[in-house]
Amino acid sequence: MDKNVDVTMTVNGETVTRRVEARTNLVDFLRYELGLTGSHVGCEHGVCGACTVRVDGRIVRGCLMVAAQADGSDVWTIEGVTETGEIKALQDAFVERNALQCGFCTPGMLLTVAELMERKPDASREEIREFISGNFCRCTGYQAIVDAVAMARAKGDA
Amino acid sequence: MTDMITDRWILDRPNSYIGRSVPRPNAPRLAQGRGTFVDDVELKRMVHVAFVRSPYAHARMKSISTDAAKAAPGVVAVVTGKELAKIHDPWVGVLTHLEGIKSAPQYALPIDTARWQGEGVVAVVADSRAHAEDAVELVEIDWEVLPAVTDAETALDASTPVIHDDLGDNLTWRRNANIGDVDAAYTNADHVVEETFVFGRHTGVCLEARALVADFEPSEEQLTVWHNNQCPHMIQNILATHYHLDEHRVRVITRDVGASFGIKVHTYADEIATVGLSIMLKRPVKFVADRMESFVTDIHARDHRVKGKIAVKNDGTIVAFEIDDLTGIGPYSMYPRTSGIEANQVVNMIGGPYRFDNYRAVATVVFQNKNMMCQYRAVGHPIMCAVTEGLVDAAAKVVGMDPVEIRQKNFHPDDAYPTKSAQGLPFENLSHEESMKTLLEAMDYEALKADRDEKRKEGIYRGIGFASFIEVTNPSAAFYGVGGARISAQDGATLRLDAKGNVFVSTGATEQGQGMEAVISQVAATAVGVPPERLKIITGDTEHTPYGGGTWGSRAAGIGGEAVAQAGRALREQILVAAGAMLQEDAAKLDIRNGVVVDADTGNERIGLDEVGRICYYRPDTLPDGFQSELVATRHYVPRKYPFAFTNGAQASYLEVDVETGFIKLLRHWCIEECGTVINPLLVDEQIRGGVVQGLGGAMWEECLYDADGQMLNANLADYLVPMAAELPDIDCGHVVSPTADSDLGAKGAGEAGTCGAPACVMNALNDALSPFDAKITSMPFTPKKVLQALGKI
Amino acid sequence: MKPAPFAYARASTLDDALALLAEHGDDARLLAGGQSLMATLNMRLSAPEILIDLNRIDGLANIEDTGDAIRIGAMTRHVDIETSDAVATHAPLIAAAMEHIAHPAIRNRGTFGGSIAFADPAGELPACAVALDATMHIAGKGGERAVAAADFFRGLYETAIEPGEILTAVSVPKIATGWRSGFLELARRHGDYAIIGLCAHVEHDGNVFGDGRLVFFGAGDRPVAAPKSAALIKGKSWSDALAEDLSAALKQELDPPEDLNADGPMRKHLAGVLVKRTLGPLAGA
């Protein structure tokens, strides 16, 4: 049985085509086939959230999808949403508030809170904490991240 | 104190960046996903290694068949311990100042016996990690399962098998301390209270796992290693030593590191094996631990059982402490720091905040067939703090005092410094009284007590807990160097002016996410007199940075920062001499402010640094005859007056116990911390918060669970519970500032204070909440099951 | 760890999926949301030869009003159930459960049918299905058959789905007048599998309870209904004494397992606490 597969998808607005092993998960595809190393691998069992990317408008775990499933999909990574400026307010707030330390969780965390801002723009601190409760950050203790989301939102409202 | 350095010139500089919440220069890059972590490094002809790992805690390999694995798709090599041992020397994790500590030689891959579940035993190298893993499944090992030693309590029994025959027994190390007359103190005291404390085994769980790319270039015998180790120079020395390479032909590069916390400061066998494979194969080899192998190979920590006693008088005066500490550290003492240090710290620091004269301690460190234990953030501190503060609370209860009052009565007074601990450790300048006062104001203790008491009437059980603590920072050579370990206690810094008037700063300290680059840039900018955006910080490369210790023991700011301050001052003086030559002015009358040479008195601008650079580098012919400018300065620094800069602080926790479910909700947490000169308040606070949460992790959720056969039961991120955002409280931070006089900068460390005190105050708060039920818990983590058991509900 | 190698086939229709399943038999695994399966594969706990991807089959991801029930397509993603008005109105128990299922990125991808067919005994949705007396629609070569939720869960990760069959939808009866639903679980961390949880679906006339179902998850090898305990509430209004009786009855009726977080006695104790905290508020207490 052929265990390779052809995939074509749009990543950060560019169409890419590759032939890969069918077992290649999406985050490995992005990192090792496309060199988009901003998405990180933290556990490979869907718990840590470091590999969070956006597929067809929604965040997903990049380790819990094979690349073949994203065939025909529209995929966005931290590199893409940085380039478009879409999450600039969040990125600025993260830097200003020191809501990142080692930075390994940060791309996944940013994509997660970007979806929160869209889905629940008025989220309370408690709701922010719940929304990011699937993203592991070992460095900050999360408070700075909650603060940064609130800061970015306050600036957006201004 | 007249022999101390007391020149605070760096704090008096104009345009100072010290004490300002300057953003981190490397943060935007990380926030844009443009970091370079080890796994992001791709080299030509690079291959990947995966390890066959022992499924047993203790087992002998009777035979190994690698034929099927070697024939698998993509496989480049399959290597056993015997083969790898031909090119490297084993190591033994002992230090001479830990008298009597012993361990067995450890190889990159074991020769014939695996001694913990998860130990790498055969290396499989292939063109992809997936192919290497496929072939791992094809390596056939005929195992002879041996009895596993898993319970530290019985590790020394005559009936327990010995893990290393050559060592004779399973004792790694024993330390005794006997100060004053404890027995007489017990006789004279009004109360002697006993308590046993248990600390769960837990681990660091850096989100970026351990990783390296080793690239051996045979024509020059040059080894280059991209590594996420905390101490590039230490690893350089270890690799050169054990692979018989010239040290100057070993280059270790640490770029972005996905946090470390002490996990990445050790010599891991699978990493050493990866380097050996590159030497054997003469091509780059990458190893990135996956999460499951991280859990069974990253060092574990804590796992201590401490029987403690405190003797007090009726007025609350503490007269004696006694402890019996037992810890099992796995089958080897970790190299090169040893696995004796955590117990050593506990013995050294029990009772740290308090005056008392009588102390007895025994610490017993034993081998066992579990993953190795070693130094993790706040080594020994959470243990000594929880034992001390748990005993102090117990003493308060027996004499009927408020927990705050008994602490205040026994603190080393703020005006008593310098002084020494009962164990004889020198305290330069601490502030327990002021810290507690600040803490009480921050938390509004009286209001909190009223709330707790009011809620109790409604059947809501809330508790308040305190922990005062001391913390070791800025370690000198007394920590490891005196014991023979080649771990630099000093740091060097080199500052260089370029032709455009910008400054390159290279330092032996390293960035792990704590913000070291920001701190270094603030100090350099202040010392030289330039804005931080004109600096380029260079770290983590043994070929391009001065020799230094890297990041450990809360040292980067206090030691690395001071070296930068001194080098910065030297560079400024060099620049001013050159500018003086250009301007025909006495250099002593000039200064550098905001990147411009000015008249020191008036601040009038005289010449820009870009112009100084241009003339020195391109038009030296215009300078006076015989004048040669020097625009590079290197300075090194190590604390000499004190072996460590002790710091201190006080924490408090407010929590609520659901007495029907056993669930604990953390409501709020406070930490007042003393780290001397605060270089960057924002970064210090976030070090504290992150540290507190790691302490909360060990207190509330985290534990490496093993069965009696030595199998780790929760070696994945779903079953090993790390702290996540929804369960955590907001944490209020505050500071008391007593700069160390051992450096001009006066900075002490801040990285471990949070982790030190958090478990203790959660324990005390929990027991305060449970006090109406006559229930008490002193075994971490505080799971719902333990709470329900303590309450007699199950 | 990377998964062992497998082939990948994307089914474009249900018939296509059934044909692929028939062709590959035990060598195949169906890939729905993949949020449990992929983790299992990544740990090499399972190594199928081929994954049959159901994600592009039209018509499996709808929530339909069928009169007395709502029919939830098996490939409906958790996020779409979470935000569905029909579910909120007609199956408030399921609506209440959704926020406890893992985390947003998982709910964006995970599917209702996947959770049901995976049959994790600690999962929320299987217990909801049993409590609500849902009907599972299973397609096979011979067409579609229906299985009551109570008969569907057969053991640890075992269901009534036979080899060659695919779960296509779940019909959930609309909540009837006079019925109330309550959901509560005890998890160490938000989004974790619960130590134990309760789906309560009961009749209450504003004064006393009528019929009802109490279904626990994390309490056995499948969703565990406690009919004997549930029978105790009939005709009674809420009281501390009833809570005590229920707690005692549950200790008799349940036989929960031990794992890393809790043993049987602890789970029995917590079952009593859950019932008290769920039924009390349902009764307006």
Cβ pair B217, B44 in contact under 8 A: no
Residue B631 has, within 13 A of its CA and on its CB side, a CA count of 24
Q: Could you count the other beta carbons within 10 Å of the beta carbon of residue B220?
A: 9
Cβ pair C101, C107 in contact under 8 A: yes
The pLDDT value given to residue A157? 61
Q: How far does A29 lie from chain B, in Å, by closest CA?
A: 13
Asked if A134 and C104 come within 8 Å (Cβ–Cβ), the reply is: yes
Residue A13 zone, left/alpha/beta (φ > 0; ψ -120 to 50; rest): left
Whether A158 has a pLDDT exceeding 80, the answer reads no
A68 touches chain C (CB under 8 A): yes
Residue with tokens 């960057």: B680
Asked if B794 and C44 come within 8 Å (Cβ–Cβ), the reply is: no
The pLDDT value given to residue B1? 35
Asked if C34 and A116 come within 8 Å (Cβ–Cβ), the reply is: no
Write the single-letter amino acid at C162.
Answer: E
Write the single-letter amino acid at A81.
Answer: V
Q: Which of B36, B291, B730 is nearest residue A143 as measured by Cβ atoms?
A: B730
Q: Which of C31, C53, C106 is nearest residue A61 as measured by Cβ atoms?
A: C106
Asked if C31 and A49 come within 8 Å (Cβ–Cβ), the reply is: no
B313 touches chain C (CB under 8 A): no
Whether C285 has a pLDDT exceeding 90, the answer reads no
Asked if B783 and C192 come within 8 Å (Cβ–Cβ), the reply is: no
pTM of the complete model beyond 0.90: yes
Chain C positions in Cβ-Cβ contact with residue A112 (cut-off 8 Å): 104-105
Summarize pLDDT for C46-91 with one digit per residue, the tens: 999 999 999 999 999 999 999 999 999 999 999 999 999 999 999 9
B759 touches chain A (CB under 8 A): no
The pLDDT value given to residue B3? 46
* Residues near B84 by beta carbon (within 8 Å), at least 6 away in sequence: B107, B108, B109, B123, B273, B276, B277, B280
Asked if A66 and C109 come within 8 Å (Cβ–Cβ), the reply is: no
Helix axes B403-410, B432-443, angle to 10 degrees: 160
Closest CA to A155 of A81, A97, A101: A97
Q: Which of A41, A47, A95 is nearest residue B28 as measured by Cβ atoms?
A: A95
A28 touches chain C (CB under 8 A): yes
The pLDDT value given to residue B767? 98
Average per-residue pLDDT for chain C: 97
Q: Could you count the other beta carbons within 10 Å of the beta carbon of residue B685?
A: 24
- In sequence order, the β-bridge partners of residue C199 are C183, C215
Residue C57 corresponds to which tokens in the numbers above?
């089959």
Whether B6 has a pLDDT exceeding 90, the answer reads no
B414 phi, psi to nearest 5 deg:
-60, -25
3-state secondary structure of B307: strand
Asked if C260 and B793 come within 8 Å (Cβ–Cβ), the reply is: no
CA–CA distances in Å: residue C196 to residues A26, C3, C35 = 33, 31, 21
* Mean pLDDT to the nearest integer, B229-251: 97
CA–CA distances in Å: residue B611 to residues B532, B568, B607, B625 = 19, 19, 7, 19
Distance, in Å, from the CA atom of B73 to the CA atom of B69, rounded to the nearest integer, reads: 9
Write the single-letter amino acid at C98.
Answer: M
Asked if A3 and C1 come within 8 Å (Cβ–Cβ), the reply is: no
* Mean pLDDT to the nearest integer, B168-193: 98
Chain A positions in Cβ-Cβ contact with residue B665 (cut-off 8 Å): none
Cβ pair B583, B626 in contact under 8 A: no
Strands (E) located in B584-691 = 590-593, 596-599, 605-608, 632-637, 645-657, 664-674
The pLDDT value given to residue C15? 97
Residue B651 corresponds to which tokens in the numbers above?
């924490």
Whether B67 has a pLDDT exceeding 70, the answer reads yes
* Mean pLDDT to the nearest integer, B536-553: 95
Summarize pLDDT for A63-121 with one digit per residue, the tens: 999 999 999 999 999 999 999 999 999 999 999 999 999 999 999 999 999 999 999 99
The pLDDT value given to residue B2? 36
CA–CA distances in Å: residue B23 to residues A95, A96, A98, B532, C258 = 7, 6, 7, 10, 49
Whether B771 has a pLDDT exceeding 90, the answer reads yes
Q: How far does C40 lie from chain A, in Å, by closest CA?
A: 8
Which of A:20-49 have CB within 8 Å of B? 21, 23, 31-32, 35-45, 47-48
Chain C positions in Cβ-Cβ contact with residue A59 (cut-off 8 Å): 104-105, 108
Q: Which of A5, A23, A135 is nearest residue C3 as measured by Cβ atoms?
A: A23
Chain B positions in Cβ-Cβ contact with residue A51 (cut-off 8 Å): none
pLDDT band at A155 (very low <50, low <70, confident <90, very high): confident
Size of interface B-C (CB pairs under 8 A): 57
Q: How far does A76 lie from chain B, in Å, by closest CA?
A: 13
Write the single-letter amino acid at B429.
Answer: N
Nearest CA in chain A to B207: A42
Summarize pLDDT for C149-185 with one digit per residue, the tens: 999 999 999 999 999 999 999 999 999 999 999 999 9
Nearest CA in chain C to B715: C43
* Residues near B652 by beta carbon (within 8 Å), at least 6 away in sequence: B439, B443, B445, B464, B465, B466, B467, B669, B670, B761, B765
Size of interface A-C (CB pairs under 8 A): 97
Average per-residue pLDDT for chain B: 97
Asked if C109 and A3 come within 8 Å (Cβ–Cβ), the reply is: no
Asked if B259 and A139 come within 8 Å (Cβ–Cβ), the reply is: yes
Asked if B785 and C265 come within 8 Å (Cβ–Cβ), the reply is: no
* Residues near B23 by beta carbon (within 8 Å), at least 6 away in sequence: A95, A96, A98, B518
Consecutive H or E run containing B503: strand B503-507
Distance, in Å, from the CA atom of B481 to the CA atom of C47, rounded to the nearest integer, reads: 50
Summarize pLDDT for B106-127 with one digit per residue, the tens: 999 999 999 999 999 999 999 9
A5 touches chain C (CB under 8 A): yes
Q: Which of C41, C50, C109 is nearest residue A60 as measured by Cβ atoms?
A: C109
Write the single-letter amino acid at B142.
Answer: D
* Residues near A52 by beta carbon (within 8 Å), at least 6 away in sequence: A39, A59, A60, A61, A62, A107, A108, A109, A111, A112, A135, C105
User: What percent of chain C lies above the pLDDT cut of 70?
Assistant: 100
* Cα pseudo-dihedral C97, C103, C109, C111, rounded to 10: -20
Those chains having 3 or more beta-carbon pairs within 8 angstroms of chain A are B, C
3-state secondary structure of B431: coil
The pLDDT value given to residue B18? 96
Asked if C35 and A64 come within 8 Å (Cβ–Cβ), the reply is: yes
pLDDT band at B229 (very low <50, low <70, confident <90, very high): very high
> ipTM higher than 0.90?
yes
3-state secondary structure of C258: coil
Closest CA to B108 of B138, B77, B142, B85: B85
C262 touches chain B (CB under 8 A): yes
* Mean pLDDT to the nearest integer, A124-136: 98
Asked if C105 and A68 come within 8 Å (Cβ–Cβ), the reply is: no
Q: Which of B512, B513, B686 is nearest residue A144 as measured by Cβ atoms?
A: B686
**Cα C170 from chain centroid?**
10
Residue environment code for C4-33, b if the CB has 16+ CB neighbours within 10 A, otherwise e: bbbbbbbbeebebbbebbeebeeebbbbbb
Residue to mutate among C260, C263, C274, C276, with most B CBs inside 10 A, is C260
Q: Is B329 exposed, middle or buried (0-12, 13-18, 19+ CB in 10 A)?
A: buried
Cβ pair C256, C219 in contact under 8 A: yes
Distance, in Å, from the CA atom of B508 to the CA atom of C256, rounded to the nearest integer, reads: 56
Cβ pair B105, B94 in contact under 8 A: no
Nearest CA in chain A to B516: A101
What single string gives the DSSP state of each residue in A94-124? Answer: HHHTT--SS-SSHHHHHHHHHHHHHH-TT--
C105 touches chain A (CB under 8 A): yes
Closest CA to B596 of B536, B531, B532: B531
